[in-house]
Structure 1
């Protein structure tokens, strides 16, 4: 791969990647989308911007937002989501339940998988659906 800004990994490369690896990149994808969303909607400035981002990317928020998109997932996406939820994480933050953390990890794994497979439009579609109650992306 030569373009790390717009990756497109082959299916066999994605299958070989661990769920934690997918969640690792998916965490960054969700973070940049959330920060972009906050700036684009003028939701906060300065310290408030950082606090608003933290509230959006925390496990509880991600788990709640993941529930909104589950009915929209294809079979393949749902399989990646389940794979992420079943990842063996050893530490769970004190502010989230193990179930919430599992759902958040699953969401991140799905976003990482979609991003690395070059499906940025699908990432955006799912993100917009997750954010719909706050402000439509349309």
Structure 2
């Protein structure tokens, strides 16, 4: 059983490579992506992680699942998680976060302050960067650390 869990962890960390190989996609230097593009994919990854976590708790009406997921993925919750994990970030990760936070976005925050929205964008950029660097293990380490201390 432990071997299966170890293999699952390894396979989960190789998802980017699997997708690239399956679709014959070329490698791209992650540092060439704009911070908003990193945030775009990071938003998707974070949403998938949270949805997976909520669904693992059992079947429920979709509207209840959506409401619960929304409480974790809204800008204010992401801002709180970022502040929880901030001291755990490497210099490189902090630089990516700051690039995302400081990026000029043409969309406005819905139901969030501009500070929460920009912090959440930085958080999503960090997750997108780690995902494209094939560091799902690090994403889960940071998200799990943040979620254990988050009060939604």
TM-score in same-fold range (> 0.5): yes
Alignment match, 1:13:
29
Closer/same/farther in 2, CA of residues 93 and 41 from structure 1, 3 Å limit: same
What is the rounded CA distance, in whole Å, between the counterparts of 2:138 and 2:38 in structure 1? 16
Which range is displaced more, 125-134 or 43-52?
Answer: 43-52
Alignment match, 1:4:
19
* Residues 87-119 of structure 1: CA deviation (Å, up to 9, x unaligned): 101222241111100100000000000000011
What is the rounded CA distance, in whole Å, between the counterparts of 1:78 and 1:86 in structure 2? 12
Alignment match, 1:23:
39
Q: How far 1:25 moved relative to its partner?
A: 0.3
Closer/same/farther in 2, CA of residues 118 and 82 from structure 1, 3 Å limit: same
TM-score normalised by L of structure 2: 0.78
Q: Secondary structure at the match of 1:95?
A: coil
Matches within 5 A, 1:109-128: 109-128=125-144
Asked whether the 8 Å contact 1:22–1:109 carries over to 2, the reply is yes
The two structures, once aligned, show a CA RMSD in angstroms of: 2.5
Q: How far 1:134 moved relative to its partner?
A: 5.7
Asked whether the 8 Å contact 2:43–2:124 carries over to 1, the reply is yes
Closer/same/farther in 2, CA of residues 74 and 5 from structure 1, 3 Å limit: same
Query: Which one has a larger percent helix, Structure 1 or Structure 2?
Result: 2
Alignment match, 2:9:
none
Identify unmatched segments of 5+ residues in structure 1.
none
The total of aligned residue pairs comes to 133
Asked whether the 8 Å contact 1:38–1:44 carries over to 2, the reply is no
TM-score normalised by L of structure 1: 0.86
Which is greater in Rg? 2
